[in-house]
Amino acid sequence: MRKYLATVLTLLLIMCKYADASVVMTGTRVIYDGKMSSKTVQLKNPDKQPYIVQIQTDNGTQANQAASGNDDFVVTPQIFRMEAGSAQSIRLMYIGKPLPEDRESVFYLSFTQLPALNKANLGGNQLVLAITNRVKIFYRPKGLTGVSADTPQKLSFSLSDKQVKVVNSGGYYAVVRHATLLTNGREITLASSTMVPPESSVNWTPSAPVSSLKGARLRLILVNDYGIDTVTERTL
């Protein structure tokens, strides 16, 4: 039993090592300018070993994710080897159906990496771990007006049957890291790791009972284009 536990702990340490030092993307999201014919994404391998990397895109639906990517983007190259300490440029070109011209559309980019195996070790038993990172692609069409930095001002909040209704009147996605209510000395979660699409609304329900939402403070943590948190507060 002790030998088994020691083996498991060793494998976990190996997993932590690979997850901590692996292929990374420059930036936390991809902003695709519709005025341009393509978008270049930069990857870096800070590790001391080479990796095989595969790139895929999807539109966020479960069916699309299960279908090994979609046909909205041409990715060049799609599968490649990254040597230790090297960098790689990826070219994305949108070829999908026409998108709304007055608002952002969102897609996802995934890059999966596998440690490249040495020829000398091909005959033996090895533990090979695949790590997948997934980031958002925000497609901004030519006709989109305004700037994403104004998104907090485009959000309005109202009360609706013990829920908070959030309206995004702007053309950009509001990326929400965390939203909480501050009332009667309590901090109650409203939403986490979500988005409010452009020109649309969502309803948030408090995670705990609240006697009255009127007069409560709403604290909203949004994520900007650079992956930096911006905090705003409103009174309901």
pLDDT tens per residue across all 236 residues of the chain: 555 444 443 444 444 444 445 899 999 999 999 999 999 999 999 999 999 999 999 998 755 554 555 689 999 999 999 999 999 999 999 999 999 999 999 999 999 999 887 666 556 666 677 889 999 999 999 999 999 999 999 999 998 778 899 999 999 999 999 999 988 888 999 999 999 999 999 999 988 877 777 888 999 999 999 999 999 999 88
What is the C-alpha to C-alpha distance for residues 133 and 187, in angstroms, rounded to an integer? 32
Give pLDDT, residue 136.
97
- Which helix (H) or strand (E) element contains residue 6? helix 2-20
Instruction: Tell me the whole-structure pTM to 2 decimals.
Output: 0.84
Secondary structure (3-state) at 163:
strand
Fold for 2-140, please state it.
Immunoglobulin-like (2.60.40)
Give pLDDT, residue 46.
94
Secondary structure (3-state) at 96:
coil
Give pLDDT, residue 117.
74
For residue 100, give Cα distances in angstroms to 61, 107, 142, 145, 179. 18, 14, 10, 12, 28
What is the longest distance spanned by two Cα atoms in the chain? 69
What is the C-alpha to C-alpha distance for residues 54 and 73, in angstroms, rounded to an integer? 14
For residue 209, give Cα distances in angstroms to 40, 181, 186. 47, 11, 11
Q: What is the DSSP letter of 118?
A: P
Give pLDDT, residue 71.
82
The CATH code of domain 148-235 reads 2.60.40.10
- Which helix (H) or strand (E) element contains residue 3? helix 2-20
The partner residues of 176 in beta bridges, in order of sequence, read 194, 222
E strands present in the chain: 24-25, 30-33, 39-44, 51-58, 73-76, 79-82, 87-94, 105-115, 131-140, 155-160, 163-168, 174-183, 186-196, 200-204, 217-223, 229-235
Give pLDDT, residue 214.
80
Range(s) for CATH 2.60.40.10 in the chain?
A: 2-140, 148-235
Its sign, for the CA torsion 190, 195, 199, 200, is negative
**Amino acid (one-letter) located at 193:** S
Give pLDDT, residue 15.
44
